[in-house]
Amino acid sequence: MRTLITILLISCGGWACADELRWGFATADGMPYVDVHEQQLRGGFIYQLGQLASQQLGFDAAFVETPNKRIDEFMQRGRIHVICNSNPQWIDKPERYHWSAPLYSEEDVLLLHSQHAPISNLHELHGKTVGTQLGYVYSEELMEAFAKQQIIRQDLRDHSAGLNLLHKQRLDAIIDMRRPLRFQLAKRADTPLRINPWVIERYNMHCTYSPQLPVSAELLDRTLQELRDKGLIEQMLNKI
């Protein structure tokens, strides 16, 4: 998944510091991926990955909030050098960019109110209103159902707003990545909300690099793959 404003944690004259590697992030991804306070990335998996990979490459890490609709612009202009938690299917003409090997996997699932019956296929969502993240791209079948208004898409301001609407049963379901939903539910032990068993889509997560990347793509590839192969990426995801 995939989205808003732009803030650098480290500022230099203009955009660039010679020894700075700039990582894009989407606030809407939520924890465990991003922990954002006052529009600055303070923690979460993307923060930890960016810090660790940058350090190993001899760079300072900077983090830039990146709206989904401006990923291409930011990448082409060098506003960001790297964006992770991404997949080639979510970007127009992905062949324009260099993509890392798969680093971890995710899956889109539904969050339901406990008073609602489980949902086992797309047809059972027809006529229902589903909370979504602004600018996010979902499975081809689901996007087609949204376009035909067989399923009503309602973009949510943030995770908390969506959970509140679902709690009040003003939504029929929320669709999101499993890890952020699991993180939110763990903080709400008495919630009547639950993750639906049906997996809408499984996919691999990659990082993709700007043409303005200040280090060779092959070197960044090796660095990220080494973190994956040593189990450090999985460890970071599981510890948060």
40-95: pLDDT as tens digits: 999 999 999 999 999 999 999 999 999 888 999 999 999 999 999 999 998 889 99
The answer to whether 126 touches 151, Cβ cutoff 8 Å, is yes
- Looking at the fold, whether 163 and 176 belong to one and the same domain comes out as yes
- Looking at the fold, whether 123 and 173 belong to one and the same domain comes out as yes
Structure-block tokens of residue 215: 């280090």
183-200: pLDDT as tens digits: 999 999 899 999 999 999
- Looking at the fold, whether 126 and 187 belong to one and the same domain comes out as yes
22-46: pLDDT as tens digits: 999 999 899 999 999 988 999 999 9
Q: How many CB atoms lie within 10 A of CB 16?
A: 15
**Cα 113 to Cα 50: distance, rounded to the nearest angstrom:** 36
**What range does the domain containing 125 cover?**
107-201
Q: How many CB atoms lie within 10 A of CB 65?
A: 23
The answer to whether 220 touches 53, Cβ cutoff 8 Å, is yes
- Looking at the fold, whether 136 and 154 belong to one and the same domain comes out as yes
- Looking at the fold, whether 113 and 165 belong to one and the same domain comes out as yes
- Looking at the fold, whether 99 and 115 belong to one and the same domain comes out as no
Higher pLDDT, 135 or 227: 227
**Cα 28 to Cα 3: distance, rounded to the nearest angstrom:** 6
Specify the number of domains making up the chain: 2
Q: CATH number of the domain at 77, please.
A: 3.40.190.10
- Looking at the fold, whether 97 and 126 belong to one and the same domain comes out as no
Asked whether residue 1 is assigned to any structural domain, the reply reads: no
Which pTM was predicted?
A: 0.87
